[in-house]
Amino acid sequence: MRALVAGGAGFIGSHLCDRLIAEGIAVTCVDNFISGLPANIAHLMDRPDFDLIEHDVSQPFDSPADLIFHFASPASPNPASPKSYLAHPVATALANSQGSYQLLEIARRHGARYLFASTSEIYGEPLEHPQRETYFGNVNPHGIRSCYDESKRFGEAIAMTYHREFQVDVRLIRIFNTYGPRCDPADGRVIPNFVSQALTGDPITVYGDGAQTRSLCYVSDLVEGIWRMITSERTGGDVVNLGNPEEHTILEYARLIRDLCDSGSEVVFRELRTADDPSRRQPDITKARELLGWEPQVLLREGLKQTIAWYREHLPDLSAGTDPVR
Ligand code: NAD
Ligand code: UDP
């Protein structure tokens, strides 16, 4: 069996490649490194069951596969980062729209099962809390984040359209904020930022007043959910939230990370919140529990300790060329 992992050199995609290979599945990774890192897949490059195609998925290509995972999109909204989707808005819109089309065509051609990495961002500034899969969202269709959230909504729509018109076996997951080793501090997301700042003694930059909330899922839990979603016989043509329902304010994360790093960093407040930065976010995972028998296992403190240990070891290499975004 062979899997095609689009975005396999990214944070989540590289952990997914590891899991698939551990399950005995050969992996073809397709990535253009717009936000991913060669270091994330360096340990796989000499394996006979791993191939890399350097390519932009929004452009035509073909690669036979039994399973296709579409994880190819910049994912950080940090306006200060050269790796964020705000720095590459057209490429992001195309990765999730034309890229979905290209990958669905490959799925159709080869009879592959297709899984799309959608996002909690499709709920926008949610008026329903926590968010269930039945909620249609509250999204600004032309706002600064629309290159990302509207293209993800289109990615869901075209996947379901291929399912209905061509019977392609598609599965949609809505990923809520995920953290862990290999998330590049240069892309400016909250956990790599706070951890790298705490470890280097720099100020921990809370955007706005820090009262906005997020619910953080450790990456191994997410990958387990992805695995169950692709292997289940009950999830074809369905959409499932994957995330950890434990919700905290951003200020609480800042203080917790400072404590766990035993850091003297001060917490500072910056006006870097983008327009449409959701004020709260929490998944309802009832459906994942019922359909997949899945729920997160890694406690926040434990996941953060593992993440911090990884950054302690790798931060000097990661920061050598690119200063973490603050
Ligand atoms: P990431 O930036 O680390 O990984 C994305 C990978 O896709 C990178 O390796 C990048 O180079 C590659 N890529 C981007 N556009 C491409 C293109 N056009 N062609 C080929 N490769 C391309 O981000 P991540 O956090 O690992 O996110 C992976 C996926 O999961 C994304 O689709 C993202 O929208 C989704 N997601 C992530 C989170 C999260 O919390 N990390 C939450 C919701 C959704
Ligand atoms: N954030 C912050 N400081 C940072 C980076 C992010 O306060 O250094 C905030 C950001 O404004 C948002 C939350 O943390 O409210 C989560 O941001 P992230 O970019 O990780 O993901 P998002 O959920 O916005 O996609």
Q: Got the DSSP string for 46-62?
A: T-TTEEEEE--TTS---
Ligand 2 centroid, distance to 230 Cα (angstroms): 29
Q: Which of 85, 101, 123, 148 is catalytic?
A: 148
Residue in 92, 207, 274 to alter for ligand 2 test, most ligand atoms within 8 A of Cβ = 207
Query: Does 206 contact ligand 2 (Cβ within 6 A)?
Result: yes
Residue in 40, 70, 73 to alter for ligand 1 test, most ligand atoms within 8 A of Cβ = 73
Helix (H, G, I), strand (E, B) or coil at 193: helix
**Cα angle value 142/285/132 (rounded, 5°):** 40
Band the pLDDT of 319: cuts 50, 70, 90. low
pLDDT of 325 > 60? The answer is no
- Token pair 């089309």: residue: 101
Residue 216 structure tokens? 């953080």
The per-residue pLDDT for 275 is 80
Q: Which position has the higher pLDDT, 320 or 316?
A: 316
Where do the H-state alpha helices sit in 119-218?
A: 146-166, 190-200
Residues lining ligand 1, judged by CB closer than 6 Å?
A: 6-7, 9-13, 30-36, 56-58, 71-75, 95, 99, 117, 119, 175, 177-178
By DSSP bridging, strand 267-270 and strand 217-218 are: unpaired
Distance CA 299, CA 312 (A): 20
Burial class, 201, CB count within 10 angstroms (exposed 0-12 / middle 13-18 / buried 19+):
exposed
Query: Does 207 contact ligand 2 (Cβ within 6 A)?
Result: yes
Average pLDDT, the chain: 95
Reply yes or no on whether 148 is catalytic: yes
Pick from 38, 92, 115: which is nearest to 317 by CA?
38
Ligand 1 centroid, distance to 74 Cα (angstroms): 5
The amino acid at residue 85 is Y
Band the pLDDT of 323: cuts 50, 70, 90. very low
What sign has the CA pseudo-torsion 280, 139, 221, 18? Answer: negative
Which of 95-99, 194-198, 253-257, 320-324 has the lowest average pLDDT? Answer: 320-324
Q: Where are the beta strands (DSSP E) in 208-312?
A: 213-215, 217-218, 238-242, 247-249, 267-270
**Is the bond leading into 60 cis (omega within 30 degrees of zero)?**
no
Distance CA 326, CA 320 (A): 16
C-alpha distances in angstroms, 7 versus 28, 35, 85, 323?
10, 9, 14, 23
The per-residue pLDDT for 326 is 44
Q: What is the DSSP letter of 131?
A: B
Helix (H, G, I), strand (E, B) or coil at 6: strand
Radius of gyration (C-alpha) of the chain in whole angstroms: 19
Residue 115 structure tokens? 């899984």
Ligand 2 centroid, distance to 189 Cα (angstroms): 6
pLDDT tens, position by position, 34-84: 999 999 999 999 999 999 999 999 999 999 999 999 999 999 999 889 999
Looking at the CA of 208, name the nearest ligand: 2
Query: Does 76 contact ligand 2 (Cβ within 6 A)?
Result: yes
By DSSP bridging, strand 113-119 and strand 170-175 are: parallel
Looking at the CA of 37, name the nearest ligand: 1
Reported pTM: 0.97
Band the pLDDT of 143: cuts 50, 70, 90. very high
**Which residue has a Cα nearest atom 13 of ligand 2?**
190
